[in-house]
Structure 1
Amino acid sequence: MTTITTPRTEAAPAATTRTQEVVTSPAARKVLAALRLSTGFIFLWAFLDKTFGLGYSTASEAAWVNGGAPSQGFLQFAVQGPLTGFFNGIASPVTDVLFMLGMLGVGLAVMLGIGTRVAAVAGSLIMVMMWLAEWPLIAGSTNPVMDYHIIYALVLVLVALTAAGDTWGLGRWWKSLPVVQKNRWLV
């Protein structure tokens, strides 16, 4: 895989001096775009299913729009391991709103290819928290260390580091906006 490293410039502010690896192979760019869209859809689907109770992981009567509590049930009854008390203690309507906004924000940003750095941080934080809540080290998991939460977090980081939103997404347009030019962390 060929990469281009954007060199550091002395005149650039500190926020823009980080190098960004951009994959130039057309086939690799398409695979990264497909991986980005697939991962973004996982987050967006979780939001949609929990909001409207589409009947996959959330029944209609448990939908958020029908008074369901998308994070509270999980935090109160499905958590396992040494952090159970912590996760039980944070279960509230506030965690429902934060979780749902996180799923929607990460899903849309990753699907659109915009704000992938912020989405990578937020999505990875959500995934690591869910991994800790399920604590696969003692929960009878088929793999006591690695599970899909960690894989999704790593994919989000890969998407952000490789400018994957530039292919089949709005990444290039997003990066050209003056507010993003001034605040490179929004890339």
Structure 2
Amino acid sequence: MQDIGYRRIPGPPGWSGRNTATATGLALALGALVMAGPAAAQSDHGGEAHEPGDSIGWRMPPMPASMPMLPGMNITPAELAPPVTPFLPAAGTDPATLPEAIPGSVERLADGDTIELTAMRVRRTIRGKTLVMYGFNGQYPGPLIEVDEDATIIVEFRNEIDLPTTIHWHGVRLDNRFDGVPGVTQDP
């Protein structure tokens, strides 16, 4: 691979890798952008209206003279209200019937271990107000799962909430199709 300011980061088998800019590559790219900026801004815009530039030649982007600079500034607060109601997980539920959320734990797993995660509704009181939240294993936030690098674990997931659910992972390198964003990267 030719060195052009990027380096390949290896990944697990079957993973295509990613490119990460090094400081040298980033500095070169930014330097080229800054050097070309004033000259590019002075190019012909086909006669469309724009403001005169300052001493180094920066100008407003070309636009019709009748276009307002801040559209929507004359909207009233009532017009800003969304035409829908908020989604609340507690709708029609007595929070007292739900378990009190326990603080998130740290689950340390070894290579080959299995953890069971159950998505469920829990209640938590914050500043005197009882709220219904989604949690894992009765915890909010859910457990922090710690494993050594290159370890493989098994996650058994059970959904006890009334909606299709997936898990979105942080700090785990995996194919996009396995990282839960329902309806986007995987089926719920």
Tell me the TM-score normalized by structure 2: 0.19
More strand by share: 2
Higher relative contact order (CA 8 A, sep 6+): 1
Larger Rg: 2
